[in-house]
C-alpha cells in the first residue's frame, strides 16, 4: 500500500518525529511508498528541515518521497521558491490553518502558478477554521484546472464533496478522516479521487497508543467498511492515476538520488 500523508519533524513544540522513527514505522507497516513533509517548516532554520528530508529519503531506501511544505515567509524570501527546491519534490504542501494564507490572496496564487509550471500537485490542509475549510479552495481549484489539488483530511466533508464534484482536479486524502466520511466518497461516486493518507506518526500526539498500533487498527476498519476492491483503489490504484501526469524533466544535479517517481 501507499500513504499520501506522512510527516517527519517537530510537532507543536512537544514531540519530535525523527526520520528514523518514520522510516522504521512505515517499514513495519509494509507501506511501500509514502509522501511526506516536514512539520518543522517555519519553526527551525531551513537547513534543519533539509537535513530531515534528506535523512528520511536516505533511511527509507527509496520509499519516502518528499513534498515541500511552503510558508508565506518562504515565498517572500524566494518569490519563485527556487532557494528551497534543493531536490526533486513530488508536490507542495500548504497549511492554511497553521500558516496565515489568505485563500483568495495573491501569494497563494503565486504558489499555484509555480506548481503549474513545475507540474506539481498542491496539498492543502483543510479544516480547523474558516480560512482553511475545504470550500474556500473552490476558487483556486477552478482557476488552476491543470494543477492537481489534494484536500487533505477533507473537512468539512460536505464542502470537500462539493469541491470535488465541481472540480475534476480536486482530490482528497483520508488523514484522520472518519470511516463514514471515506464511505461517503464512494456513495457520492468520488472514490476514484481519494488517496489513502494517515498523518503518521501525528496520531502519537492525540492517542495514548503506539502510532503503528493505531495505524493497523484504522487500516482494518477502513478496509472492512470499503471492501477489498475499493480499499485497493484508495491505497494503490488511485496513486497510479494521480501520478500519471507526465512531469517535466529537470536536470538538477542536486536531485535526491533515491527519488524515482
Cα distance from N-terminal residue to C-terminal residue, the chain: 15
Residue nearest to Zn ion (CB): 199
Residue 21: CB minimum distance to Zn ion, A: 15
Q: Grid coordinates representing 105?
A: 490572496
Q: Quick one: cell of 113?
A: 502558478
Q: Per DSSP, what are the bridge partners of residue 124?
A: 94, 151
* C-beta closer to Zn ion: residue 148 or 230: 148
Q: Please say which residue, 12 or 165, places its beta carbon nearer to Zn ion.
A: 12
Residue 186, C-beta contacts closer than 8 angstroms, at least 6 positions apart? 226, 230
CB of 82 to Zn ion, least distance (A): 25
Query: Which CB atom, from 199 or from 230, has the smaller least distance to Zn ion?
Result: 199
Measured CA to CA, the distance from residue 118 to residue 214 in angstroms comes to: 36
Which residues make up the interface to Zn ion (CB under 5 A)? 199
Tell me the H-state helices in 106-196.
106-118, 138-143, 157-166, 179-187
H/E element, 93: strand 91-94
Closest separation in Å from C-beta 199 to Zn ion: 5
Nearer to Zn ion among residue 126 and residue 230 (C-beta): 126
Report, in Å, the least distance between residue 39 CB and Zn ion: 7
Amino acid at each position: 500500500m501507499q500513504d499520501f500523508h506522512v510527516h517527519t519533524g517537530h510537532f507543536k513544540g512537544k514531540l519530535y518525529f525523527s526520520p528514523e522513527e518514520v522510516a522504521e514505522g512505515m517499514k513495519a507497516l509494509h507501506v511501500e511508498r509514502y509522501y511526506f513533509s516536514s512539520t518543522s517548516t517555519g519553526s527551525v532554520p531551513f537547513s534543519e528541515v533539509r537535513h530531515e528530508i534528506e535523512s528520511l529519503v536516505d533511511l527509507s531506501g527509496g520509499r519516502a518521497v518528499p513534498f515541500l511544505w511552503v510558508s508565506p515567509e518562504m515565498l517572500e524570501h524566494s518569490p519563485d521558491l527556487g532557494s528551497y527546491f534543493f531536490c526533486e519534490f513530488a508536490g507542495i504542501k500548504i497549511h492554511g490553518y497553521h500558516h496565515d494564507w489568505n485563500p483568495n490572496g495573491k501569494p497563494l496564487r503565486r504558489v499555484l502558478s509555480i506548481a503549474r509550471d513545475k507540474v506539481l500537485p498542491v496539498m492543502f490542509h483543510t479544516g480547523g477554521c474558516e480560512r482553511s475549510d475545504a470550500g474556500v479552495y473552490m476558487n483556486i481549484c477552478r482557476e488552476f484546472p491543470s494543477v492537481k489539488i489534494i484536500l487533505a483530511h477533507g473537512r468539512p466533508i460536505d464542502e470537500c464533496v462539493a469541491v470535488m464534484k465541481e472540480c475534476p482536479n480536486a482530490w482528497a486524502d483520508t488523514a484522520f478522516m472518519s470511516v463514514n466520511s471515506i464511505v461517503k466518497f464512494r456513495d457520492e461516486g468520488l472514490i476514484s479521487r481519494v488517496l489513502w493518507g494517515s498523518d503518521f506518526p501525528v496520531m502519537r500526539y492525540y492517542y495514548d497508543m503506539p502510532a503503528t498500533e493505531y495505524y493497523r487498527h484504522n487500516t482494518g476498519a477502513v478496509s472492512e467498511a470499503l471492501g477489498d476492491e475499493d480499499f485497493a483503489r484508495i491505497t494503490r490504484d488511485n496513486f497510479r492515476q494521480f501520478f500519471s501526469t507526465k512531469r517535466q524533466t529537470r536536470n538538477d544535479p542536486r536531485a535526491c538520488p533515491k527519488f524515482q517517481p
